[in-house]
Homo-oligomer: A and B are copies of this chain.
Amino acid sequence: MTEPPARSIWLRPERAGRGPAPTFDRDGIAAAGIALADADGLPAVTMRAVAVALGAGPASLYRYVATRDELLELMIDRVYGEISYAELGSGHWLDDLLALAWQSRGVYLAHPWLLDATATRTPVGPHAVTYLEHALAALADLDVRPRTKLEAIAIFNAVVSTLTRAEVIQRRAGQTIPQWQQAQAEYLTQVAMAGHHPHLATALTGQPPEAEDSSESLFERVLTRVLTGLLQPDDIGATSVHGRAEAEPPAAGPGASAAP
């Protein structure tokens, strides 16, 4: 008859100090999962694998974690703990946010599986909340509605992960050549060559080696542009640059498509 918990793992106390002392703890379990994910990717993080890595029985983890998803939450929040806020407090909000972005990038590069794990989920663990707090602190002096700040941070995080994902993929291309990716590139060039997609063709056959800027400068440039565009004073930006008619959602998108 003990059902009621169902709450987030972060509200559940780790220990319920009654019985014998637990052999493991959340942090150690998360660390074991992270080690597996770092080595062989997210799919390698199975309940059994983490258990044997810990020297535990196949189903022992369920004493600490209600579900595999909670294990992933633990892992995600633990790597969020690797973020340093030492470089913040510059006095310029843009510099502070860029510092946060570089820190995030570092964590993503150190734990590429985090890109997949956070693609669906939005992290809400203690360390993630600390991150959000610092991001808001960076924007504290900005004269913008709090709502706008939260939006900006959400978009900001999405852009950071998108940029870093591109970087991870490109970095992997140097060593391992995933089968599907090569097939994908083959298909794309083939489509471009077919002639029906002129803009795509010119975009793909553009100057490749030329004065290509580094990934780092691209990262900083794109983020700067996005953030400066995003965090303008609240009263402007509502009208298009072309003096186009104001917000008028075009006719509804495609209808439901259930059956053929």
Q: B7, A183: Cβ atoms under 8 Å?
A: yes
Q: By DSSP majority rule, is chain A's interface helix, strand, loop, or mixed?
A: helix
User: How far, in whole Å, are A174 and B251 apart by their CA atoms in the complex?
Assistant: 8
A254 touches B83 (CB 8 A): yes
Measured CB to CB, the closest approach of chain B to A236, in angstroms, equals: 9
Q: How many copies does the complex hold?
A: 2
Bound Cα distance A40, B195 (Å): 40
- Tell yes or no: A246 within 8 A of B by CB: yes
Is residue A252 contacting chain B, with contact meaning CB distance below 8 A?
Answer: yes
- CB contacts (< 8 Å) of A126 on chain B: these are 191
19 contacts between A and B (CB under 8 A): A7-B183, A7-B186, A79-B257, A94-B241, A94-B242, A98-B242, A102-B249, A102-B253, A107-B254, A110-B256, A129-B191, A155-B162, A169-B256, A170-B256, A173-B253, A185-B256, A213-B238, A220-B247, A221-B237
Query: A interface vs B, CB < 8 Å?
Result: 6-8, 10-11, 27-28, 31, 34-35, 38, 79, 82-84, 87, 92, 94-95, 98-99, 102-103, 105-107, 109-111, 116, 119-120, 124, 126, 129-130, 132-133, 136-137, 140, 145-147, 149-151, 154-155, 158-159, 161-163, 166-167, 169-171, 173-174, 179-181, 183-188, 190-191, 197, 199-200, 202-204, 206-209, 212-218, 220-222, 224-230, 232, 237-238, 240-242, 244-260
